Structure 1
């Protein structure tokens, strides 16, 4: 068979290869692009500031969710985590170059919390939903060396681990795992004799496929994105028993399904919720407030436009943000997944490459006329 293929003309080989890819994409939903057929950017355009190297898995739906950490004592020391949901966890520098790769298999969403005590040492606890091992895979990053190592698995019996977010409640560190079917488990994570331990605190059902989630440590609000329905607000207090409020419905003027990544950014004492509206290549922003985050003041929608050598963001999945100085981003950084990193590939059935784009929070504030000093 190999000899026969070697005798085929180059055009015939290319045609056969294209047909085989098309056939594969027709049967494997993991190869199909999440990018809308229409690549129009529907939000107010904001220029991309930089981008990361693409994840290693090509021609597949691979890059998914980012997270950002910056040293509060030296914000120039910052890293970006990004998942390859076929292969493992990437660690990038702010220059977009790969610092490390941990080949831990299919990881979907990632989050972190600094100041996690293991023995008497503070570590950055990083967690990622593991799609086949049934829970949250835990990593530790040494804030002094930025070295990342795998720590262990906290099991969470959900349908298939998709979404994941972390939070703090007093001295407790929490991990929430969201299953593909919308089943949710909340775990309390600790370290005993250098190894991870966990206790399940609450479980509830969102109703249908869900993924993105984020916890506001200050208010105890847990925001979960039900992909075809909108954004729900829950509580990390188990006594609330899964009670919820619909913050924003989808489809609607602000969100076009799928509702994907959710993140929070704090600026000048104000908290902003950012959601990726995958269906129309945009990100919606609300200012959230109140003891349980019950008030939500809509700020507008933006899209990440091409700038310089960096292409526009389409079909986005995960989104992460960190307020305050992060390297050259003096007031905050937003990192988003780009479904098609090759210019002109938007809307294709099979993508060539996927990566993460960096956006300056100052550019978003300027574009949407957001004033954190306003009452």
Structure 2
């Protein structure tokens, strides 16, 4: 009896230790903070397509997408999405996986076309990365001829924990902007050096009061939009001098329910729209921002359609105006925190993915007109 009791006690201790050890290995970014949410209360917009779930299961993984389209052929292009536990995925414009680039822990991703290299113009792709020691941003090059993505180098950034990222272009200068969980922001120039490797230089640093993440730059106007997760959206310039910020949207509010996550811009001729991911209520807020003051135009949420489930607890978002594959006026891509097996129910897959939305549906739902 004593031996059996001792055995049972030892087994209980071992199991408890194993559970504690597993919990200790899971950081705050390993467990989704928005699981189990319902579809938001924005104007309903149907999902058009989706990507496969990212490979990392049972943890918070899919985070941020970006879109590139061949300027000479709108039927050619890619969607790049992060698995922040493992690497980058490359999809075609229908959501089909084309490539997986393992390595690091890439959180946010952005890109800029026309980046000069010795091999010709490439698409510069950058991702904030907490998985490569000493690096704040991982740099990749996308070959526009083959649509292949390759790791190019790293930018070491003086941040305790790199988190959000966006790229900008000021004339012929390309900029990598990385923010950290402590509110600090670092802005670097980047170019290809004589040996083909990245050459970078810190240009300026500034901060917001609390943790930011999503950011997006408007190269045409020189404006930078930065989301402060629990407080709203800021607007800065992308110059080299001291940063002067203006908060253009407050959270929590009727527009945004924290966390404020992804930010993206969509251009239609002279009109530019800013879209912000309102994670706390599974919705997206839209402003017109080509004028001197932002004009709030409403919110939308993505509902199930056909075999594609709805978007809940969303994180990153990307948009591109004009013809994009099968989407004649533009495409919006967003992270879905819980990818269900089918629309309207079914067994849940403990994974996350990205949903595709026709921009025409958003415009119709919100009555967006220039």
TM-score, normalised relative to structure 2: 0.89
Query: Where does residue 152 of structure 1 map in the other structure?
Result: 153
What is the CA–CA distance in structure 2 between the aligned matches of 1:104 and 1:119, rounded to whole Å?
25
| 1:231-253 Cα distance to aligned partner (Å, 9 max, x none) | 000111122x1211011000011
Contact 1:63 1:354 in 2 (8 A): yes
Distance 2:327 2:340 in 1: 25
Contact 1:159-1:183 at 8 Å conserved across structures = no
Q: What's the secondary structure of 1:238's corresponding residue?
A: coil
Aligned-partner Cα distance in 2 for 1:42–1:267: 26
Paired with 2:147 and 2:207, the residues of 1 have a C-alpha distance of 37
SS of equivalent to 2:29: helix
Structure 2 counterpart of 1:300, from 276, 293, 298? 298
Where 1:201 maps in the other structure, the secondary structure is: strand
Shift of 1:89: 0.6
Contact 1:33/1:351 (8 A) holds in 2: no
2:58 alignment partner in structure 1: 59
1:93-116 Cα shifts (integer Å, max 9, x gaps)? 122221111112210000000100
**Aligned-partner Cα distance in 2 for 1:50–1:369:** 23
Equivalent pair of 1:339/1:351 in contact (CA under 8 Å)? no
Asked if 1:362 corresponds to 2:365, the answer is no
Counterpart residue number, 1:238: 240
Residue 148 of structure 1 deviates from its aligned partner by: 1.1
1:240-255 alignment, distance < 5 Å: 241-255=242-256
Which deviations, in whole Å up to 9, do the C-alpha atoms of 1:144-170 show, x marking residues without a partner?
111111100011111211111011101
Match status 1:270 vs 2:271: yes
Q: 1:1-375, aligned counterparts within 5 Å?
A: 24=23, 28-35=27-34, 38-119=37-118, 121-133=120-132, 134-193=135-194, 194-239=196-241, 241-290=242-291, 294-342=292-340, 352-372=350-370
C-alpha distance after superposition, 1:4-29 (max 9, x if no partner): xxxxxxxxxxxx9xx969x8499753
- Matched-pair contact (CA < 8 Å) for 1:282–1:301: yes
**Does structure 1 retain, via aligned residues, the 8 Å contact 2:39–2:311?**
no
Once the 2 structures are TM-superposed, how far is the Cα of residue 268 of structure 1 from its aligned partner? 2.5
Q: CA deviation at 1:45?
A: 0.5
Give the count of matched residue pairs.
347
Distance 1:140-1:366 versus aligned 2 partners, 3 A rule: same
Query: Residue 35 of structure 1 contacts residue 340 of structure 1 at CA under 8 Å; is this kept in 2?
Result: no
**SS of aligned partner of 2:121:** strand
Residue pair 2:341, 2:349 contacting (<8 A) in 1 also:
no
Summarize the Cα distance change of 1:105–1:71 in structure 2 as closer, same or farther, 3 Å threshold: same
Q: CA deviation at 1:58?
A: 0.4
Is the CA contact 2:304–2:343 (under 8 Å) kept in the aligned structure 1?
no
- CA-atom RMSD, angstroms? 2.2
TM-score (norm 1): 0.88
Distance change in 2, residues 1:52/1:27 (3 Å): closer
1:6 alignment counterpart: none
